[in-house]
Amino acid sequence: MMPKVAPSILAADFARLGDEVRRVSEAGADYIHIDVMDGVFVPNITLGPPVIKSLRGSSKLPFISHLMISHPERHVAAFAESGSDIIEVHIEADQDDLRGTLRAIREAGCKAGLAVNPPTPIERAFEYLDLVDLVLVMSVNPGFGGQSFMPEVLPKIALVKEELTKRGLEVPIEIDGGINGKTAAAASSAGADILAAGTYVFSSEDVVGAIRALRNS
Ligand code: DX5
Ligand code: ZN
């Protein structure tokens, strides 16, 4: 199966975000990956619901809002109303009750994604799989674009797929961080269904070719 491609706009030109979203959408992307950081869960701060809302008119592709924030349950409604189609929350984030957060995302009409950082064992996600529509395996420690891919996370993909199969669930696995023309092949042969890629896509002079290279990896 060819993986889907989700350009991460963290690496885009923030002064022209709408044009950047349009550009990768027309270049063949499957999703738009939007990195939301709060300066608490991760050291960096990026953008929030008003910016996502303002980008909604620039693409028909599904928006994946990757929330690297503490207490995501407080913001589910705002991210849903901003036009997010998939809302990903971290298993490591402080929150009242992760099951409640995942349920709230679905009740808000979005798909619920569960993100797992490199040091976190994937088995910790198993008890939530009945409430998730996507699993995000982080291949860098979140906070910044342009970091090096961590191949040691790859076995997590097979482990979670095995558990999903055991439960009769069909849930795609996204991988995020350090994906480029070289590392994409390792990620897709390990079973990743969606490749998030920021630097590689947005720094490419041939965006169509970069997206195609990821899909054919
Ligand atoms: C990392 C973000 C990633 C990142 C990917 O905190 O979640 O989505 O922007 O960027 P690259 O592809 O540059 O590693
Ligand atoms: Zn991300």
List residues with catalytic annotation. Answer: 35, 176
197 lines ligand 1 (CB under 6 A): yes
Task: Please give the number of the atom of ligand 1 that sits closest to the Cα of 179.
Answer: 12
List Cβ neighbours of 32 (8 Å cut-off, separation of 6 or more). Answer: 6, 7, 9, 21, 24, 25, 55, 59, 61, 62, 63, 64
Residue whose Cα lies nearest atom 1 of ligand 1: it is 142
How high is the pLDDT of residue 1? 82
CB atoms closer than 10 angstroms to residue 106: 15
* Amino acid letter, residue 106: R
Which tens digits make up the pLDDT trace of 115-139? 999 999 999 999 999 999 999 999 9
Q: Which residues of the chain fall below pLDDT 70?
A: none
Q: Ligand 1 pocket test: which of 31, 35, 41, 179 has the largest number of ligand atoms within 8 Å of its C-beta?
A: 35
The CA distance from 217 to 213, in Å, is 6
- Whether 191 and 158 have beta carbons less than 8 Å apart is answered as yes
- Whether 101 and 67 have beta carbons less than 8 Å apart is answered as no
Which tens digits make up the pLDDT trace of 75-101? 999 999 999 999 999 999 999 999 999
